[in-house]
Amino acid sequence: MTKEPADTAVKNNIVIPEDYEFAYPPSEMVLESGKKLGPINIRYETYGRLNKDKSNAILIVHAFSGDAHAAGYHSEDDKSPGWWDNMIGPGKAFDTSKYYIICSNVIGGCQGSTGPASINPETGKPYGLSFPVVTISDMVKAQYRLVFEHLRLPFLYAVAGGSMGGMQALEWSVAYPDFVKSALILASTARITAQGIAFDAVGRNAIVSDPRWQNGDYYGKKIPARGLSIARMVGHITYLSDESMGMKFGRRLQTRQKYGYDFTDEFEVESYLHHQGDKFVERFDANSYLYITKAMDYFDLGAKYGSLPQAFSRAKAKYLVVSFSSDWLYPPYQSKEMVFAMIKSGRDVSYIELNSPYGHDSFLLETTRQKKIIKSFLESVNV
C-alpha cells in the first residue's frame, strides 16, 4: 500500500511514528551478501508539509545509535525530544516551514525497523543471529523502497546525516544519482580506518563475552547488559575529545576529597561513562550493536566502485561536507579525501572545517554555526 504524503503527522510538536512493510515472500529484498530478507518493516517519522510538485523532501539519515525519532515528542510526558530536534523545525537548519523532512530507522536496528530482535516469520521467534548481516548499502536500499515506492516521491531535495548517517548519504548519492539533488555529509567518512574497526571490535567482543549473550539467543531472558554497557562506554569515548573531557571532568573526584586507594569509581569521568552505558542498555539491543557496527566496518565507498573518484563520477548531487577539528574518530583529513575525490570527479562541493572542542559529537552540539551553513547550502540547491 502506498501513501500520498501531505501534512506531517505532527500536532503541537507531538509526532506519530509510522510503519511501512514490504518485501513479502517470494519477493524478498536481496541483500548485498546475496541473502534475502522479507518481510521488512521500516519505522519512520515525517515533519513539515510536502509541496504540490513534491520537490521539497529531505531525508535525514541517523547515526549509529539514532533512530527515526529525529524531532518533536512522542507524547506530552516525554522528557526529551528527538535526537536532532535543535536542527529540525520551523526556522531551524532543516526548516519545516520550507521542507518536508523524513527520518527512518535503519534495518538491523532496534527502534521499529526489522532487525535481529524482530520475529522471524519462519520460526515465530526473534531472529537473533539468524538475521542476515546487512550493510550500509542494504540500509539505503530499504530507504529507497520507503521513499519512492511508499511515499512516491520523484526525487529527494537532499539527503543529510552525520557519522554513520553521512555514510548513508554518500551511498544514496552514488547508488541513486538521479534521485538525489544534494547531499550533506557531516563528521563522516567514505571508509572506516583500522582504528575505527578496532574500536568496533572491542565493543562487539564485550557483548559476546557476556555470559548472558548466549550466542544471541537472550530474548525473553536476562539481557547481556554488562557487555552492552561496556561496549557503549568504549564507543562513547570515541565521540568525545581530550579537550572536551578535560573541560567537563578534568581529574575531579566524584564524591571523595582524596583517593580511596581501591577500585571503586572515584573520578567523575568514570561515573559519567557508567551512566552512559546504563542509559544505553535501556533503549538499545545488544545484537543490533553487533550488526550495525559490522555494517559500518564494511563500508568502503572507494573499494566498492574502484576508487573514490570513480564512485563520485556516478553522482549528480551537489555536496556539502563538514568536518570538526577535534573529531578524532573521523578526523578532517578523511573529509578532505572525499572532497578532493569529488573535485577530481567534477562534482559541485562545498567544504568547511569547524573549530570545535567537542570531538565527533560536534555535529550534534554545534547547532548554531551549522544552522547558518546548512540553510545557506540548501537555498543554493537547484531542482
Break the chain into its structural domains and give their ranges: 10-192+299-379, 196-294
d(CA 112, CA 228): 19
Mean pLDDT of 166-194: 98
Q: Which CATH class is domain 196-294?
A: mainly alpha
Q: What percent of the chain has pLDDT over 90?
A: 94
pLDDT in tens, 7-20: 444 456 899 999 99
pLDDT of amino acid 6: 47
Phi, psi (degrees; rounded to nearest 5) at 8? -65, 155
Mean pLDDT of 19-42: 98
Cα–Cα distances in angstroms (integers) from residue 39 to residues 17, 122, 148, 206, in the given order: 19, 11, 17, 31
pLDDT of amino acid 12: 66
Rg (CA), the chain: 21
pLDDT of amino acid 332: 98
Residue 54: pLDDT over 50: yes
pLDDT of amino acid 288: 98
Cβ–Cβ contacts within 10 Å for residue 121, how many? 11
pTM > 0.85: yes
Helices (H), 213-325: 225-239, 242-248, 268-283, 286-298, 301-305, 308-313
| 311 CB-side CA count, 13 A | 24
The active-site residue out of 335, 360, 361, 362 is 360
pLDDT in tens, 244-297: 999 999 999 998 889 999 999 999 999 999 999 999 999 999 999 999 999 999
pLDDT in tens, 217-227: 999 999 999 99
d(CA 336, CA 352): 9
Q: For helices 286-298 and 194-208, what crossing angle results, to 10°?
A: 160
DSSP string, 320-334: EEEEETT--SS-HHH
The active-site residue out of 163, 313, 326, 335 is 163
Q: Please, are residues 267 and 254 in contact by the beta-carbon 8 Å criterion? A: yes
pLDDT in tens, 83-126: 999 999 999 999 999 999 999 999 999 999 999 999 999 999 99
pLDDT of amino acid 11: 54
Q: Which of 290, 271, 163, 291 is nearest to 231 (CA)?
A: 290
Residue 3: pLDDT over 70: no
Mean pLDDT of 39-67: 97
Options 3.20.20.70, 3.30.465.10, 3.40.50.150, 3.40.50.1820; CATH of 10-192+299-379: 3.40.50.1820
Grid coordinates standing for 47? Answer: 515533519
Judged on CB neighbours under 10 Å (0-12, 13-18, 19+), 145 is middle
Is there a catalytic annotation at residue 62? no
pLDDT of amino acid 257: 87
pLDDT of amino acid 236: 97
Cβ–Cβ contacts within 10 Å for residue 173, how many? 30
d(CA 291, CA 132): 9
Q: What percent of the chain has pLDDT over 70?
A: 97
pLDDT of amino acid 256: 84
Cα–Cα distances in angstroms (integers) from residue 9 to residues 3, 77, 311, in the given order: 13, 18, 36
Mean pLDDT of 133-138: 98
d(CA 218, CA 18): 28
pLDDT in tens, 141-173: 999 999 999 999 999 999 999 999 999 999 999
Angle (nearest 5°) at CA 138 between 232 and 200: 25
Is there a catalytic annotation at residue 217? no
The active-site residue out of 200, 327, 356, 361 is 327
Is there a catalytic annotation at residue 275? no
